[in-house]
Amino acid sequence: MAKAPAIPPAPLTPSRRTTILFGLALVAVLSFLALGLQWGQLLPHGGGVEIAGNFFAAAVQPAFTYEGSDFLPADAPAFLLKVGLALWRTLLYAVAAISLALVLGAVFGVLASEGFWQGRRGGAAVRLAVRWFMAVLRSVHELIWALLFLAAIGLSPAAAVMAIALPYGGTLAKVFAEMLDESSPAAANALHGLGARPLQVFLFGRLPRALADIAAYAFYRFECAVRSSAVLGFFGYTTLGLYIRQSFENLHYREVWAYLYALLLLVLALEAWSSQIRRRFVA
Amino acid sequence: MSSSPAFELAGVQVNLGGRPVLDSLDLRFVAGDMVALIGPSGAGKTTLLRVLNGVIAPSRGHLKMFGQNPADLAEARRRHLRADVGFVHQDHSLVPNLRVLQNVVAGGLGHRGFWSSLRLMIRPVRADLMRAHQLLERVGIGDRMYHRTDSLSGGQQQRVALARALFQSPHALLADEPVSAVDPARARDMIALLTTLAKEEGWTLIASLHDVALAREFFPRLVALREGKVAFDGPPQDLTESAAEAIYRLDG
């Protein structure tokens, strides 16, 4: 029997990957140290034990009617109706905002993609300008946009919608552009080879390949928009956040949980709907 | 007519990544020629097909497609030249999540304006629909017209790609390793189909093949490439066994 060839010696230096992993772990530990984190603080102590106990005890018995009706105005709607309306308005803001964001994302995502400019002039300059503009839009968080609008024009539904639509548009454009450019160029190249114009190559060779990913990501961002819309209530918009804050300030924890469960139900419903549509795209 | 040149290459050199992939090629293919391109991997077969398709410009020398040098033309005219050449890619290059029908009618894009092509791709008129179906019947998968393309087998997708080329009504068909992914029996069927269609349509057919026996059996002319140069050009009976071995030899 022939002797097996010798196994080549393994390199003795730690591999690049190991070095990077250790480096990342070190950065994490350093950031904990810099912040002076004390994990023990996460456990309630003293009077906090009772508050935390009350709060989490309320989780298993969310409110179906108002907690403590002493200060209720005479014309207050039934509690569940109030929850339902808050949820409905949360959804409305999210739908309006994501619709605008999708238009922004589609237009600028296409303009920022490499594939769209293949076979055309002027792509580099436009792409750079669009990518910078989108980076500016999304570098400001929706809560900060809301604050800016609040300072500039006060409480207005249009301002709330724009506060979500602008950063979401920036994010959608960036991700759409990446999805368009990461999809396989094979079909697009074939269409170019059979004499199609650049716009035809893009529309019929590139876009359809990326469409399933784009739709799935748009759905995910819609879900995020619902949460953002709820949180904008903290600034006084009549979405879930407003009532969560009010109930919280009144120490009506069971009401807080009712609102939170309502939000959870909405997000789960959206998830069920989007996964159904995703299955249609994939199958 | 049969002797009018479809493709002429004079001193064509193509450099990719700083080294010559094709080196001073002089070749002439006339209308109706049926040619098998053979040679080892990396010899430049795919690059030559892409040059003939007009999507890679020679670094040196020049190419004439149907009597015209694409380098002398404006882009719009170059597109029209490309529209006259069908190409069946090794990986099919179809859009997998579109229907078979849409991939087939995409072959007509080179001849359409913007609105007409939207119509063609989204809701083709009856004439286009009938033509697409007829072509799919011709390649043997008429019943798959409304299936999603990626639900078809590799061999069937190859036929979709061929139907797309037929829809294009080209003067020439280039095929890059059209049978690399199918078993020998299906490979024979595919080459028989290709050569039959080429005869019926009067195409100039140039197909790269790794199977020399198939090439000998179906093609009246073989062109062998080795290291970017023409190593053989002639009828199969002139290619001796030892010459064929030399083309595929590993050294050098």
- Give the range among A7-16, A45-54, A169-178 with minimum mean pLDDT: A7-16
Predicted confidence (pLDDT) at residue A113 exceeds the cutoff of 70: yes
**Could you tell me if B110 lies within 8 Å of chain A, comparing CB atoms?**
yes
Helix (H) / strand (E) containing A22? helix A16-35
- Nearest CA to A205 out of A179, A184, A174 is that of A184
Q: Which of residues 191-250 of B touch A (CB under 8 A)?
A: none
| Residues B79 and B201 grouped into a single domain | yes
Average pLDDT, chain B: 93
Number of independent structural domains in chain B:
2
What DSSP state is assigned to residue A141?
A: -
| Residues B219 and B175 grouped into a single domain | yes
Domains of chain A, by residue range, sit at 79-282
Predicted confidence (pLDDT) at residue B3 exceeds the cutoff of 70: no
> pLDDT tens-digit profile of A19-55?
889 999 999 999 999 998 888 888 888 778 888 888 8
d(CA B235, CA B38): 13
Q: What is the DSSP string of B97-136?
A: TSBHHHHHHGGGGGG--HHHHHHHHHS--HHHHHHHHHHH
**Could you tell me if A43 lies within 8 Å of chain B, comparing CB atoms?**
no
Whether B89 and A211 lie within 8 Å, measured CB to CB:
no
Within 8 A by CB and 6+ apart from A39, the residues are none
Check residue A70 and give its pLDDT: 67
Residue A20: CB atoms within 10 Å:
10
> pLDDT tens-digit profile of B128-164?
999 999 999 999 999 999 999 999 998 899 999 999 9
Check residue B1 and give its pLDDT: 43
| Residues B96 and B80 grouped into a single domain | no
**Could you tell me if B157 lies within 8 Å of chain A, comparing CB atoms?**
no
Residue B215 burial class via C-beta count within 10 angstroms: exposed 0-12, middle 13-18, buried 19 and up: buried
| Residues B72 and B103 grouped into a single domain | no
d(CA A249, CA A235): 14
**Cross-chain CB nearest to B114 (options A190, A193, A199):** A199
Chain A residues in contact with B165 (beta carbon < 8 A): 194
CA B141 to the chain's CA centroid: 20
Predicted confidence (pLDDT) at residue B12 exceeds the cutoff of 80: yes
What percent of chain A is predicted at pLDDT more than 90?
Answer: 64
Q: Which fold has domain A79-282?
A: MetI-like fold (1.10.3720)
| Residues B216 and B137 grouped into a single domain | no
CA torsion angle B24 B30 B33 B36 (round to 10): 10
> What strands lie across the sheet with B19-30, from one edge to the other?
B19-30, B5-16, B60-65
d(CA A190, CA B89): 8
> Average of pLDDT values for A190-214?
94
Check residue B2 and give its pLDDT: 47
Provide the pLDDT confidence category of residue A11 given band limits of 50, 70 and 90. Answer: low
**Could you tell me if B106 lies within 8 Å of chain A, comparing CB atoms?**
yes
- Nearest CA to B233 out of B31, B23, B37 is that of B37
| Residues B158 and B229 grouped into a single domain | no
Predicted confidence (pLDDT) at residue A283 exceeds the cutoff of 60: no
**Could you tell me if A215 lies within 8 Å of chain B, comparing CB atoms?**
no
| Residues B68 and B185 grouped into a single domain | yes
> Is B64 within 8 Å of B6 (Cβ atoms)?
no
| Residues B35 and B152 grouped into a single domain | no
| Residues B153 and B174 grouped into a single domain | no
Helix (H, G, I), strand (E, B) or coil at A91: helix
**Which residue range(s) make up the domain with B45?**
1-84+170-252
Check residue A2 and give its pLDDT: 64
Whether A194 and B82 lie within 8 Å, measured CB to CB:
yes
How far, CA to CA in Å, does B180 sit from each of A276, B43, B90, B175, B207? Answer: 38, 16, 7, 11, 12
Of B163, B187, B208, the last residue of a domain is B163
Within 8 A by CB and 6+ apart from A160, the residues are A93, A97, A146, A149, A229, A232, A235, A237
Structure tokens that stand for B124 in this block: 């083709």
| Residues B64 and B15 grouped into a single domain | yes
A3 versus B96: the higher-pLDDT residue is: B96
> Average of pLDDT values for B52-68?
94
What DSSP state is assigned to residue A205?
A: I
Look up the pTM and report it: 0.86
Which bin fits A236, alpha (ψ -120 to 50), beta or left (φ > 0)? Answer: left
Of B148, B163, B178, the last residue of a domain is B163
Of B163, B191, B214, the last residue of a domain is B163
> Is A202 within 8 Å of A159 (Cβ atoms)?
no
Residue A180: CB atoms within 10 Å:
23
Provide the pLDDT confidence category of residue B238 given band limits of 50, 70 and 90. Answer: very high
Residue written as tokens 């959608």? A172
Check residue A240 and give its pLDDT: 95
How far, CA to CA in Å, does B9 sit from each of B25, B70, B176? Answer: 6, 12, 19
> Is B128 within 8 Å of B166 (Cβ atoms)?
no
The answer to whether the complex's ipTM is over 0.90 is yes
> Average of pLDDT values for B217-243?
94
Residue A282 burial class via C-beta count within 10 angstroms: exposed 0-12, middle 13-18, buried 19 and up: exposed
d(CA B4, CA B223): 19
| Residues B96 and B150 grouped into a single domain | yes
Residue written as tokens 């800016």? A148
d(CA B73, CA A195): 14
| Residues B252 and B203 grouped into a single domain | yes
Check residue B199 and give its pLDDT: 95
User: Measured between CA atoms, how close is B124 to chain A, in angstroms?
Assistant: 14
User: Measured between CA atoms, how close is A275 to chain B, in angstroms?
Assistant: 18
- Give the range among A94-98, A271-275, B222-226 with minimum mean pLDDT: A271-275
Provide the pLDDT confidence category of residue B64 given band limits of 50, 70 and 90. Answer: very high
